[in-house]
Amino acid sequence: MTTTYDFLIVGGGMVADAAAKAIRETGSTASIGILGDEPTAPFPRPALSKKLWTDPDFTTDDGEPGTADETGAHITLDTRVISVDPDAHEVTTESGETFGYGSLLIATGGHPRRLDGLEPSDRVLYYRTLSDYRRLRELVSTDPKPHVAVVGGGYIGSEIAAAMIGQGCRVTLLHPDDVLGASTFPPALALDHEALFTGAGVEVRGGTRVAGGLEAGDGVQLRLTDSDGGDAGTLEADVVVLGLGIQPSGEPIADAVERSEDGGVVVDERLATSAADVYAAGDVAEYPDKILGRRRVEHVDNAETMGATAGRIMTGSDETYDHTPMFYSDLFGHGYEAVGTLDASLETVEDRFDDSVVAYYLTDDEVVGVLLWDCDGGLDEATALLAAHTRPADAAELVGRIRPAGGADDE
């Protein structure tokens, strides 16, 4: 027997929550179904690496967005969709069940990149879900505290390393760059960023990759190489957390719609895929950003805003997705917001104020990214700067262009 929903959402994450709420906010009373392969309902992922560790009063109950209660959506957990048939308006799950739809939203996000050669273990976490948070909480609640090896210097690795040192664990952070954050932040800011970690007691091992590993005794032994691939010995840890980026989870819709080169799902400015009545949003969706051009964005502002837009479009709104998303991270009481491309191999300008830094990233033709470190405000100006699609001949002329609110002075 096939259960049919007016609106069916595949993937029970942040997009699903935003889309279901937006559908209801239009006044629609149509039926909403959400099929998610996790054992838990939608949960705001940023809290998994930040607030749940840094705020002792904040619990998973506080983070719970109440998707089903607020929208009446029927959420089916532990259910993996393996194919979509747009002609029949039907999806099929791993267990062979079928669900029909009027309109379908692909909201499958991405899954963590795995490390070949690292044997699976319940002490090795590719950190992404509420279940991962619960498992890590369990692993670090021992006395004495465990030695946690964190692999990857991106925002998941950095935030988890900061969280683990805050829990009193011994933490070793393994990353391939010379300086932690050097591929994202301009040179001086990368040094400041790394100093936050070393100052807090994290052992930061740059120029290091993990080639593999296996369970050994009550822990895990990692095999390390240096940046040239040469043997760099082994590291024993009680727990290993990996943040190696994600790959878009476009598989269930693989044969039915146009895919992006990296496996995402291509949508137009109305978030429609190439199949009738099938939309996609969030980490999985490659969309035409009005300012930045075609891209996939793996950040929460995009997931929430695009998810809500998709929900309204599915109920008949004639809008387009015109939002250029920002992204952010919080570390040791510091934080940044950013828009566009943060690639430190581009030309960069660092503008330092009393307590803040504004960093600009430029190609030969235009400013393509702005990072606001410990800055109050500045995001609208940053977005407008990117929208102008130009740059000064001398990049140094950008100094003073965006200033933190409150009139801080240039250093």
Ligand X SMILES: Cc1cc2nc3c(=O)[nH]c(=O)nc-3n(C[C@H](O)[C@H](O)[C@H](O)COP(=O)(O)OP(=O)(O)OC[C@H]3O[C@@H](n4cnc5c(N)ncnc54)[C@H](O)[C@@H]3O)c2cc1C
CB of 319 to ligand X, least distance (A): 19
Sequence-distant (6+) residues with CB within 8 A of 347 are 361, 362, 363, 395
Residue window 35-74: x/- pattern of binding to ligand X, with contact defined by CB under 6 A: xxxx------xx-xx-------------------------
Nearer to ligand X, 203 or 298 (CB): 298
Q: Which of 64, 95, 66 is nearest to 79 (CA)?
A: 95
Could you tell me where the DSSP H helices lie in 175-299?
187-200
The one segment of 104-112, 134-142, 312-320, 401-409 that binds ligand X by CB under 6 A:
104-112
Sole binder of ligand X in the list 108, 208, 273, 383 (CB under 6 A): 108
Euclidean distance between CA atoms 273 and 257, whole angstroms: 6
Examine residue 10 and tell whether it contacts ligand X (CB under 6 A).
yes
Q: What phi, psi does 135 have (nearest 5°)?
A: -65, -40
Using H for helix, E for strand and C for coil, what is the string for 337-393?
Answer: EEEECCCCCCEEEEEEECCCEEEEEECCCCEEEEEEECCCCCHHHHHHHHHCCCCCC
CB of 23 to ligand X, least distance (A): 15
Contact yes or no for 285/271 (Cβ under 8 A): yes
Tell me the sheet residues that pair with 164: none
Examine residue 378 and tell whether it contacts ligand X (CB under 6 A).
no
Sole binder of ligand X in the list 15, 149, 163, 382 (CB under 6 A): 15
Q: Is 70 helix (H, G, I), strand (E, B) or coil?
A: helix
Examine residue 348 and tell whether it contacts ligand X (CB under 6 A).
no
Q: Which of residues 288-327 bind ligand X (CB under 6 A)?
A: 298-301, 303, 327
Examine residue 334 and tell whether it contacts ligand X (CB under 6 A).
no
126: alpha, beta or left, given left = phi > 0 and alpha = psi -120 to 50?
beta
Beta strand 32-35 pairing with 3-10: parallel
Examine residue 97 and tell whether it contacts ligand X (CB under 6 A).
no
Q: Which of 307, 314, 317 is nearest to 287 (CA)?
A: 307
The one segment of 117-125, 185-193, 282-290, 389-397 that binds ligand X by CB under 6 A:
282-290
Examine residue 153 and tell whether it contacts ligand X (CB under 6 A).
no
Examine residue 86 and tell whether it contacts ligand X (CB under 6 A).
no
Examine residue 252 and tell whether it contacts ligand X (CB under 6 A).
yes
CB of 201 to ligand X, least distance (A): 22
Write out the H or E segment, with its range, that includes residue 210: strand 208-216
Total residues interacting with ligand X, rule: CB under 6 A = 35
The one segment of 30-38, 95-103, 201-209, 398-406 that binds ligand X by CB under 6 A:
30-38
Which positions lie near ligand X, rule CB under 6 A? Answer: 10-15, 35-38, 45-46, 48-49, 80-81, 107-109, 127-128, 156, 249, 252, 282-284, 298-301, 303, 327-329
